[in-house]
Amino acid sequence: MTDNLLTKEELREFLEVKYDFYNCPGFIEDDPISIPHNFSRKEDIEISGFLTATIAWGNRKMILRNANRLMQMMDKVPYDFILNFTENDLKPFDSFVHRTFNGTDCKYFLKAMKFIYTEKGGLEALFAGDVQDDMKELISQFRSLFFEPEHPARTEKHVANPMKGSSAKRINMFLRWMVRDDGRGVDFGIWNSIEPSQLYCPLDVHSGNIARRLGLLTRKQNDWKAVSELTESLRIFDKNDPVKYDFSLFGLGVNEKF
């Protein structure tokens, strides 16, 4: 199935059917979003969600195992841990590893979270401001604030920089989790500082390949320009909530091997 075999309306209907099928509580269990679903307090959801999204690449079972381990190391109370940890409390995190994200990176992320919640008003506040209408600028602003404290140079690679062309897949995924609220029980919709219409679609190998097959994306590289092109294509079908079709592309690519 390709774009030249479907009319625009047929393609919209196809995407809607897949969105409806995959956007359900049954989706949660095997997805990284299951980690923040263990919590009910806003700050716990944000912190666990951000840390999980940060390591959400590679084997999904490994992602879930390591994200769960990270929550256990924080005594399953991430917000309280972030506010109250001491240097001694961080020593066990020296052993944390997920692919190229190691103990040095992990300890800085925890320190950055403490800085953000004690000095900057929390994670949501870092995604608010005068550049809200430009997601590329907004993510860049967040990145600058995140690395405001002294930090290891190596750790910078673990926060995407769309200004250098990165697709920022994991940040866009995290923002989808926090912002979208469609009552289906998957995404949380606990942030009001960003509208769903402003979100950009998370883009990886799977969603990129499906988007190209469906004629939603022509750019060959999975970079920020491709993210912008794909999101604009999806806005044709739903300008108020284009990123809901991430469920469609993900399901088609990962579950159906479309």
| CA quadruple 124, 225, 58, 199: dihedral sign | positive
Q: Assess whether pLDDT exceeds 90 at residue 172.
A: yes
| pLDDT at residue 3, rounded to an integer | 44
Instruction: Find all residues with CB under 8 Å of 109, minimum gap 6, and list them.
Output: 51, 54, 155, 158
Q: Assess whether pLDDT exceeds 90 at residue 255.
A: no
Question: Whole-angstrom Cα distance, residue 228 to residue 211?
Answer: 13
* pLDDT, tens digit, 9 for 90 and up, residues 82-108: 999 999 999 999 999 999 999 999 999
Average pLDDT over residues 54-80: 97
Backbone φ/ψ region at 57: left (φ over 0), alpha (ψ -120 to 50), beta: beta
Among 192, 191, 146, 200, residue whose Cα is nearest residue 168: 200
Q: Assess whether pLDDT exceeds 90 at residue 133.
A: no
Per-domain boundaries in the chain: 1-26+200-258, 31-193
Which residues is 101 bridged to in the sheet? Answer: 98
Question: Whole-angstrom Cα distance, residue 97 to residue 106?
Answer: 8
| pLDDT at residue 258, rounded to an integer | 75
Residue with tokens 């940060």: 54
The number of CA neighbours under 13 Å toward the Cβ of 106 is 25
For all residues of the chain together, what is the average pLDDT? 94
